[in-house]
Amino acid sequence: MSYDLVGVILFAVLAIGIVGAGIGVVLLDRITASALLMAFTFLNVAGMFVLLGAETIAAFQVLIYVGAITVLILYGVMFTPQRERAYALFFQTQWPWAALVVAPLGIGVALVGLSFRDRATAVPAGGDLDALATSIFRDFAFPFEVASVLLLAAMIGAIVLVRRDD
Amino acid sequence: MAVPLGAFIAVSAVLFSIGIAGVLVRRNAVVILMCVELMLNAANLALVAFSRRGGFPDERGSVFVVFVFVVAASEVAVGLAIVLSAYRNRPTVDVDEIHAMKG
Amino acid sequence: MPEGPFGLDPAIWAVVRLVIALALLVVVVLNGALSQVYIERKVQAFIQNRYGPIHTGPWGLLQTVADAVKLLGKEDIRARLTDRWFFLSAPGIVFSPMLASWVVIPFAPGLVGADLNIGLLYLATLGSMTVLGIVIAGWASNNKYSLIGGLRSGGQLISYEVPQILSLVTVAMLVGSLSMVDIVDAQPGWQLTVFILPLAFLTYFIAGLAETNRNPFDLPEAESELVAGFLTEYSGMRYAVFFMAEYGEVSVVSAIVATLWFGGWHGPFVDTAGPLLGPVLGVLWFTLKTYAFVLVFMWIRATLPRFRIDQLMALCWKLLIPATLTNLLVTAVLLLAFPGSLLPVAIANWIMLGLFVLAIPLFQRRRLASLRARLRAAA
């Protein structure tokens, strides 16, 4: 048994988890189950990042997506009514057209993607932390500062939008 | 046998298609937000996978993932705020019924 | 063919090692929860001038074992109107991050599950996953008390994550690494981080109290107002899992404090005791330091009253976050301005600690004055 084989098995498990949970998010009627499956998808994508040798990105992924975004979305689920409805009203009216567009697109892009034969498991020695930090704070320092302004703007915007005028 | 780069890209493409399908077919605004997050995640996966291409890792792909995280966090905060304020005006989160340009 | 320890194939040894580590972890965590419950009851009893458990076993030692057996034997109840998926998954979501935290904590020289170079980030990540489980538990129970407890907890944990992570960042800056092993190696002898960064220690400890939902921050399960908060609908083994997760979190926070600020396994005779006895002594020192902070947690629980929710949020956003941000800025500037010397950083940090402690009464007086003004305006 070699480590390569372990990598392939892990990849298969994670891929099945991602695709299965993603389909579940779209098709399940219970919004709570959708939210949980979304968090599960995020965790599996984090696992993919670890397979690719990007453990810092994986940690950020769990910290931001599972710890913050899923919790926010759960708050959204709690604050809006989720009553049971007839299954006919579950999808929007244009769902056949959407399926017609999406299915060839997805299959096409996946086929193009499969044509890349390079090894993807070139794990950098000593982790990706140093290289990532150097890149962000040296080459991308200005975009990084702009991103913090974006976060501030989003925070203020969200507060203004949901504030009640007493 | 190692996992080729194309396999990661294919998973990313499938996840992205699932996200598009969810945005196009579901009526619930909160579920649409979730599907947008799935699409962003698929993009992240593709970015990281391509930054590992050809045996010499280049972290600039991962830097873009960090920026996508920032954008995703802002997007979900503002998106939920919009859903909540729309719900306050008309008690529904059904996107087919939210079609007025003003409250 | 390369050979691992005991002449095993490395691939097989990796699996065997994983099984051994998991078994050890489960034993340590479960026993830790059991012994902590006993210690907590005894400490509370000592402070409140009573005996605590004395009947089951010598000095009441078997009381927690009896409680655990009772919880194991209870019927597994799930109310009909609860949300099945959320209700069943919540205990696992709360428990597993706590278990996974132990992987990066170094117990002794060379004795660490995995020396990740993102160790601190990993710990912060796992800490943030607990929120999800608690919010889910509160909502799934379909009970007003649970919902309020879960929502309070969500707000509290997300808010206190900010000062917590900012305090961790200060230490990471000083050491220049996120790896827990590097952080321990940077504090030999008396060069403990707590002498250099005392304010970060204080803010981390306060935020850690809030992260673990302990007194005086135990609003999510405030029994006098919310029955048991998000735990109300849980019983039997599911309740026990939440309980173990809480005590495990207390140990994890104490272990992080002991590792980051008090030198981890460093202690007298560890380096000189030889290859076999040294690690044993290291584990001993580490455990002693960790449990010292667990005792402080219990002492605080017996001493301080509970905060109100607005006081809790005001403390975090108006006092802790500005303090940690200032601390981060000053430390960063001084580290860059005086490379090679830690004395300026230490002096500045002690001054900031003094200012922080002096600021608390002033802050309280201003808050009280504004509250009185509002009451007068209302009346």
Domains of chain B and any CATH numbers: 5-89 (1.10.287.3510)
pLDDT digits (tens, 9 = 90+) for C79-89: 777 777 778 88
Comparing CA positions, the residue from A119, A114, A112 lying closest to residue A51 is A119
Q: What is the pLDDT at residue C1?
A: 42
Cross-chain CB nearest to B8 (options A68, A72, A120): A120
Cα dist from A49 to A10, A42, A121, B9, B37, whole Å: 12, 11, 10, 12, 17
Q: What is the pLDDT at residue A87?
A: 47
| Core vs surface per residue C158-186: b (16+ CB within 10 A) or e | bbbbbbbbbbbbbbbbbbebbbbbbbbbb
Same domain, C184 and C301: yes
Secondary structure in 3-state letters for A126-156 = CCCHHHHHHHHHHHCHHHHHHHHHHHHHHHH
C144 within a domain of the structure (yes/no): yes
C150 within a domain of the structure (yes/no): yes
Q: Which residues on chain B are in Cβ contact (under 8 Å) with A99?
A: 21, 25
Long-range contacts for C342-351 (Cβ within 8 Å, ≥24 apart)?
Answer: C342/C174, C342/C196, C345/C174, C345/C196, C345/C197, C346/C195, C346/C196, C346/C197, C349/C196, C349/C197, C349/C198, C349/C199, C349/C200, C350/C198
Q: Are A67 and C160 in contact (CB under 8 A)?
A: no
Which among C256, C284, C309 is the end of a domain?
Answer: C309
Cα dist from C249 to C140, C235, C283, whole Å: 22, 20, 19
Mean predicted confidence (pLDDT) in A35-64: 87
Q: What is the pLDDT at residue C233?
A: 75
Chains touching A (at least 3 CB pairs under 8 A) are B, C
pLDDT digits (tens, 9 = 90+) for B42-93: 999 888 888 877 666 677 788 888 889 899 889 888 888 888 887 777 766 6
Retrieve residue C15's tokens: 């699996």
Same domain, C269 and C181: yes
Which residues of chain C fall below pLDDT 70? Answer: 1-11, 219-225, 227, 275
Alpha-carbon Rg for chain B, nearest whole angstrom, is: 17
Q: What is the dihedral of CA C171, C323, C315, A158, to 10 degrees?
A: -90
Same domain, C31 and C151: no
C346 within a domain of the structure (yes/no): no
Retrieve residue B68's tokens: 């996508």
Comparing CA positions, the residue from C282, C225, C231 lying closest to residue C258 is C282
B residues 36-75 near A, CB within 8 Å?
Answer: 37-38, 41, 44-46, 48-49, 51-57, 59-60, 62-63, 65-67, 69-75
Which among C73, C100, C123 is the end of a domain?
Answer: C73
Q: CB distance from A39 to chain C under 8 Å?
A: yes
Q: How far apart are CA C203 and CA C166, in angstroms?
A: 9
Same domain, C34 and C114: no
Same domain, C56 and C106: no
Same domain, C63 and C84: no
Which among C258, C281, C309 is the end of a domain?
Answer: C309
Mean predicted confidence (pLDDT) in A21-25: 87
Q: What is the pLDDT at residue A1?
A: 47
Place of tokens 């173990």: C244
pLDDT digits (tens, 9 = 90+) for A119-149: 655 555 566 777 788 888 888 889 888 988 9
C295 within a domain of the structure (yes/no): yes
Categorize the per-residue pLDDT at A81 as very low, low, confident or very high, splitting at 50, 70 and 90: low
Q: What is the pLDDT at residue A153?
A: 92
C302 within a domain of the structure (yes/no): yes
Q: How far apart are CA C365 and CA C356, in angstroms?
A: 15
Place of tokens 């907590």: C40
C325 within a domain of the structure (yes/no): no
Cross-chain CB nearest to C11 (options A3, A66, A67): A3
Neighbours of C377 (CB within 10 A): 7
Residue ranges of alpha helices (H) inside C63-118 are 63-73, 84-101
This complex has an ipTM of: 0.83
Element (H, E) at B42: helix B29-51
Q: Which residues on chain A are in Cβ contact (under 8 Å) with B29?
A: 80
B94 phi and psi angles, rounded to 5 deg: -85, 115
Same domain, C287 and C192: yes
Structural domain span for residue C40: 1-73
Q: Are C92 and C249 in contact (CB under 8 A)?
A: no
C238 within a domain of the structure (yes/no): yes
Same domain, C18 and C142: no
Same domain, C159 and C20: no
Same domain, C200 and C80: yes
Q: How many domains does chain C have?
A: 2
Q: How far apart are CA A140 and CA C336, in angstroms?
A: 21
Q: Who has greater pLDDT, A91 or C231?
A: C231
Q: How far apart are CA C102 and CA B78, in angstroms?
A: 36
In single-letter form, the type of residue at position C92 comes to G
**Are C136 and A74 an interchain contact pair (Cβ–Cβ within 8 Å)?**
yes
Same domain, C9 and C34: yes
Q: What is the pLDDT at residue A88?
A: 45
C201 within a domain of the structure (yes/no): yes
Same domain, C141 and C12: no
Q: Who has greater pLDDT, C371 or B102?
A: C371
